[in-house]
Amino acid sequence: MFALAACDSDSTPIVPMAAAGGGSQGAGEAGTGRDSNKLGPNDRLRITVFGQPTLTGEYTLDGNGVLAFPLIGNVPANGSTTSELQQKIAAKLQPDYLVNPNVSAEIVNRRPFYVIGEVQKPGNYPYVSDITVVNAIAMAGGFTRRARKNEFYIRRLDKDGKMVRIEANAGTVLQAGDTLEVRERLF
């Protein structure tokens, strides 16, 4: 096992699924990732401020997960749920602009996930809720003949914002923004 690890030139640390904020999924389990409902960079949202058509519209979070919203400026949204974002917007509108604002936010498009390595069509794909590793590989055209069909890594930002690699299996659920790596066989 250590000899195989020595061949891996990637210095990104490998962590267990639970340490990366992905819940606890065992072999073959397809549980939902704990952070799959959290907002992140490039997510597109529909925000409705009831009675205020000039504030209502679709907004995209920037590369840092910040929402630029009229009147109130930048609202940090990275790692927040839609209900938390609603509360942040309402709180910033309340004192100076609106009396008792009613804000609704829903996700229109998630940031994509990526599939790299030994698949027929590596690239980015639109995120689908509860998509597993095996489904993502199918979207990418399936394995190449050189692929390891039972050993995968997922690259994801952990709860501290550091990039980590997570050992995954066919039933592991991806999150928006994840990168799935299908490795090459040695022989």
Q: What is the pLDDT of residues 19-64, one digit of tens each?
A: 555 543 433 333 334 456 788 888 999 999 999 999 999 999 998 8
Check: CB of residue 168 under 8 Å from CB of residue 178: no
Q: Give the alpha-carbon dihedral of 102, 108, 114, 119, to 10 degrees.
A: 150
Helix (H, G, I), strand (E, B) or coil at 57: strand
For 44-109, CATH number out of 3.30.1950.10, 2.30.110.10, 1.50.10.20, 3.30.300.30 equals 3.30.1950.10
pLDDT for the residue numbered 19: 53
- As annotated, the residues of the chain forming the CATH 3.30.1950.10 domain(s) are 44-109
CB 94 within 8 A of CB 103: no
pTM listed for this prediction: 0.72
Range list for CATH 3.10.560.10 in the chain:
12-36+111-184
Which range (12-16, 54-58, 126-130, 169-173) has the least confidence? 12-16
- In the chain, the amino acid numbered 181 is E
Least confident segment among 5-9, 12-16, 136-140, 153-157: 5-9
Q: Is the pLDDT of residue 66 over 80?
A: yes
Q: What superfamily would CATH give domain 12-36+111-184?
A: Outer membrane lipoprotein wza domain like (3.10.560.10)
| Residue owning tokens 């995120």 | 127
Is the per-residue pLDDT at 168 higher than 80? yes
